[in-house]
Structure 1
Amino acid sequence: MSIEIRKYDGSAEELSEFIVGNWLKSYAGKMAVPDWSPAYFDWQMTGPEITDREYLISAWKDGKLVGTLLAMPFPMWYLGKEVIGAQGSWLTVDPEVRREGAAKMMALEIAKRQRDQNCLARVGYAFGTGKTSLGPRFWKTAKENTSFVKPVRLWARLLDSKTFIDWTNNMFERTMMQILPNAVCNVDPVSSDVAIRDYVPEDLQSCQELINCQAKTSDLAILWPADRLQRQLQHSDFVNTMLVTRDENIVGFLNYHKIGIHLRGVIPAAIVDILACQEMTKKETNSLLNAFCQRMKDEGVKMMLLREFVNQPIRLLLKSRFIPQPVDSTLLLSRSDPQADITPSKVKSIQVLWR
């Protein structure tokens, strides 16, 4: 029976089991794999409050889920203009059908849906290298519609060296963490005169203004509608946001979610999705980073990750013991129309999610 491509309308549980299960089959022990739980997918794209599933593409054979290519619609800032866009990831194909064209069929289907919605392009990532990850190999074959825009770095902040040494498969990282003093995992105190508190729904408008203003200083960014941002900033018990206020006005915030990451075992981690810091002083930014690190340490998190972003405060990140990592992913831009007026080479700075 041939492969059928259609919009995914199943459960978050099935999505999590299929995607994480197949990534672990392919990459267990070789490449880090986030443990995308059903709660995670409900938060991002399948929850009952989210009605738009047009970009959730799935492949089926004999009634069995055999492929996914998922994206979320977003307004996008591209070279000084607001356009209709999307951000996607989670390209997954069951090993049993990898030579039957499922990935190409899903890519063509999502491009068609993007054109129907007047979407200029979809942002995504190719993870890892061609030696380990299958993604870069596929996207290179789709170069008519997809451009490799720029390599993207992560910042890593460790809170427990022993747990990290046991988890990583990189001999250099293990050796360095055995040589370096445990002080690299320490957390500095927060300045007593910096006001930090948790997000509440009444803060939404101020946070939206801060992050969208910061996004518009980049070449390529997702912009946040109020309903999407509200869900991003506070959801369930694994997503939260910390704010800095000055004279009772919000001047910056840090949004994160907690997630396990598989490699040699599972390490409890936290991903910083948004750091809005343009209006904060150096002391405020440093205090917010340290307050976040201390909270994560208290909650049992062993490692935090933050992807690069426009005007990132490099010195303050280093001061807070965030370490820039070697490049292990590439930002992709998939045009809805091969003839669309897009010049990826002009994109130098970004403000997008790491998915």
Structure 2
Amino acid sequence: MEVRTYDGTAEELSRFVISVWRDAYVGKMAFPLWTPEYLAWQLDLAAPEAREHLLGAWCEGELAGVLLGWSFPYRQGEQRHPAILSSWLSVRPEFRGRGVVKALKIEQDSRMRARGDGLIFAYRYFGSEHSLSKGPTREQLDSGGWESRRSGFWVRILSTVRASRWYLNRWQRRLTIVGAPFTRSPRAARDRDGIRPWEPRDVGASVSVLEARRRLASSIAWDEKSLSKHCSGFGRCLVAEVDGVVRGLVTWHVLQFVGATEEPVAIFDIIATEGLPDATQRALLDAALHEIKSQGAVLALKLRTGDVRALAMIRTGFIPWFSDSFETVHSVSGTLSPMLDHPHHVLWR
């Protein structure tokens, strides 16, 4: 077996990952369809240096599996750590049980160790008996280098009928229908709210908004380059101004998800509204949901990490859904300061 940097195209990577996930999960549990456009945007495939943590394992000359990492700096108090978000693990069924996953993770740790005191974030889904994901072991958690917590989503239904048909789980279908009378249609932005699409000229003010989020104990350390890429291309972003200055922003993207049917689902990545009056906070979320609904999405999701005010989410129709994943982080140096039980900001992938 050979593990090396994945050097294929976005189209080839998308086909490989989707084919593995379709084979494993169609009709069993929901999963996204990661398009070439999405992967090129999220993983910055056009930049050679961004491929350092895109790993492939080859067996007998064939691509057996991939493990992909998105690289970013992570702030914890006054400290900054190199970090990656590890996801999109995909191993062809005929190569499972042959040490592919172990080899990929050993190489991933090795490459992070070469960068210094690095952090690796990941999610382990346990919401379905069919999930191939496994949570961290007791040995890992007792080592002092790992942390794990149960996590779930804020969920906002945007199309009751289509969402209920999309869910594979009958109880989720029923809850969606029962909650329909209490879910109002989101409202478009009004001129008086100071809400508009993000523009490149907003990047400096947007970074300042994110740096001023005092409620967060730790977070992605966005800079102008990374936030500009995040807010353009595949991603969408709205900002809200107060007295002509950007004081809040929300970002999201929409992907097709396979469930009982295939439907567009929105993922909120950033909701930074603490610097806005309460009414504008609600208006900004409403405006984003209105645009998401116009994109055809049946529901919107936001990972629950304590980075947004619960009341603001509930007022705009979000409900806290069941915890169905382990959010994990481990340090390749072997020592880790606890962070996941405090409000923090990371992406879900």
1:352 aligns with 2:349: no
CA distance in 2, matches of 1:120, 1:13: 30
Structure 1 residues 170, 129: closer, same or farther in 2, change over 3 A? closer
Q: What CA distance in whole angstroms lies between the structure 2 residues aligned with 1:107 and 1:39?
A: 26
Instruction: Provide the residue aligned with 2:55 in structure 1.
Output: 57
Query: Larger deviation: 164-173 or 176-185?
Result: 176-185
Aligned equivalents of 2:8 and 2:139: distance in 1?
Answer: 27
1:259-298 Cα shifts (integer Å, max 9, x gaps): 1111112111111111111211111110001111111222
C-alpha displacement at 1:86, in angstroms?
A: 1.8
What does the per-residue CA deviation read over 1:22-81, in whole Å, with 9 as the maximum and x for residues that have no partner? 112112122210111010110011432463211111111233221111112211123552
Quick one: distance in 1 between partners of 2:24 and 2:182?
Answer: 36
Q: Which amino acid aligns with 1:177?
A: T
Paired residue for 2:287? Answer: 291
CA contact (8 A) 2:71 2:85 kept: yes
List gaps (5 residues or longer) in structure 2. Answer: none
Question: Aligned equivalents of 2:339 and 2:269: distance in 1?
Answer: 25
- The equivalent of 2:238 in structure 1 is 242
Q: Name which of 274, 277, 281 aligns with 1:281.
A: 277
Q: Please tell me the residue identity of whatever aligns with 1:154.
A: F
Q: d(CA) in 1 for partners of 2:126 and 2:18?
A: 16
Q: Which amino acid aligns with 1:151?
A: R
Counterpart residue type for residue 251 of structure 1? R
Say which is worse superposed, 287-296 or 344-353, in terms of deviation.
344-353
Q: Which residue of 2 aligns with 1:110?
A: 108
Q: Which letter maps to 2:342?
A: K
The C-alpha deviation readout for 1:204-263, integer Å capped at 9, x for no partner, is: 11111212332x64333221132111110111xx42100000111000001111111111
Q: Which residue of 2 aligns with 1:210?
A: 209
Give the TM-score of the pair, scaled to structure 2: 0.92
Deviates further, 248-257 or 57-66: 57-66
Question: How high is the sequence identity, in percent, across the aligned residues?
Answer: 26
Give the Å deviation of 1:189: 6.1
- Residue 179 of structure 1 is matched in structure 2 by 178
Decide whether the 8 Å contact of 1:150 with 1:348 is kept in 2: no
180-189 or 271-280, which moves further after superposition? 180-189
Matching residue of 1:74? 72
2:258 aligns with: 262
The alignment partner of 1:51 has SS state of helix
| CA distance in structure 2 between the aligned counterparts of 1:345 and 1:187, rounded to whole angstroms | 34
Closer/same/farther in 2, CA of residues 194 and 92 from structure 1, 3 Å limit: same
Mapped to 2, the partners of 1:287 and 1:31 lie a distance apart of 34
In structure 1, stretches of 5+ residues that fail to align are none
Q: Give yes or no for contact 1:85–1:121 (8 Å, CA) kept in 2.
A: yes
Secondary structure of 2:192's counterpart equals coil
Q: Is the contact between residue 56 and residue 63 of structure 2 (CA under 8 Å) also seen in structure 1? A: yes
State how many pairs are aligned: 347
Q: Aligned pair in 2 of structure 1 residues 181, 88: CA closer, same or farther (>3 Å)?
A: closer
**Root mean square deviation, CA, Å:** 2.1
Tell me, in whole angstroms, the C-alpha distance in 2 between the residues paired with 1:70 and 1:141.
Answer: 25
| SS of the residue 2:134 aligns to | helix
Structure-2 separation of matches of 1:181 and 1:120: 44
* Contact 1:145–1:336 (8 Å) recurs in 2: no
